[in-house]
């Protein structure tokens, strides 16, 4: 069985499917809240082609790794990412992972404490080169309003090499779920 067949088989597990649905922000209505999905495999190089939110089964049945946009229709997803990068030896993070994680340990500890001090319950995920601290900020929260007031960033963030990456305007709904503490999903 090759790696794609193994992944297809893995995706057939009901618990795995349930976690993937949670990952893409699927609500009780069955509609994912992420703006788009992407699929990749061991040979693909980012950026991956975006797919509609309704394409999940197509991507799973193709044995692709599932990626979701950080752009979400219901919450702002915050991802505090720390990585070890060695420009002289780009493989080092993968060949001596224990050393790299030990180097990052003091930074990891400070980030965890700062997030706790601010009342943020982030999901801590290890990546190939470091750490992701991920949480959601409700769109009707004061924190979201403060961030939105900062602006959209430069136009270059919204344009890909071949033209517009995604539509420029994001229509926000006027009614939202009850506010909840900022937390990981």
Cβ 37 vs Cβ 57: under 8 Å: no
Q: What is the pLDDT of residues 130-175, one digit of tens each?
A: 899 999 999 899 998 998 888 777 776 666 555 554 443 333 333 3
Model's pTM, two decimal places?
Answer: 0.66
Instruction: Break the chain into its structural domains and give their ranges.
Output: 1-73, 75-185
Cβ 129 vs Cβ 84: under 8 Å: yes
Mean pLDDT of the residues in the chain: 81
Which ranges in the chain belong to alpha helices (H)?
3-11, 14-23, 56-61, 92-95, 97-117, 142-149
Q: What is the pLDDT of residues 46-55, one digit of tens each?
A: 667 788 888 9
* Rounded distance between C-alpha atoms, residue 68 and residue 25, angstroms: 9
């Amino acid at each position: 069985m090759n790696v794609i067949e193994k992944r297809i088989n893995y995706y057939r597990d009901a618990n795995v499917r349930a976690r993937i649905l949670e990952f893409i922000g699927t609500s009780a209505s069955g509609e994912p809240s992420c703006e788009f999905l992407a699929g990749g495999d061991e040979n693909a190089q980012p950026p991956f082609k975006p797919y509609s939110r309704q394409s999940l089964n197509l991507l799973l049945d193709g044995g692709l790794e599932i990626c979701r946009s950080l752009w979400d229709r219901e919450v702002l997803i915050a991802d505090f990412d720390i990585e070890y990068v060695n420009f002289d030896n780009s493989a080092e993070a993968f060949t001596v992972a224990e050393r790299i994680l030990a180097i990052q340990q003091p930074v990891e500890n400070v980030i965890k404490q700062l997030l706790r001090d601010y009342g943020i319950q982030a999901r801590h995920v290890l990546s190939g080169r470091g750490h992701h601290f991920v949480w959601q900020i409700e769109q009707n929260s004061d924190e979201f309003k403060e961030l939105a007031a900062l602006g959209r960033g430069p136009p270059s963030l919204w344009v890909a090499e071949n033209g517009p990456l995604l539509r420029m305007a994001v229509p926000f709904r006027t009614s939202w779920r009850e506010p909840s503490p900022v937390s990981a999903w």
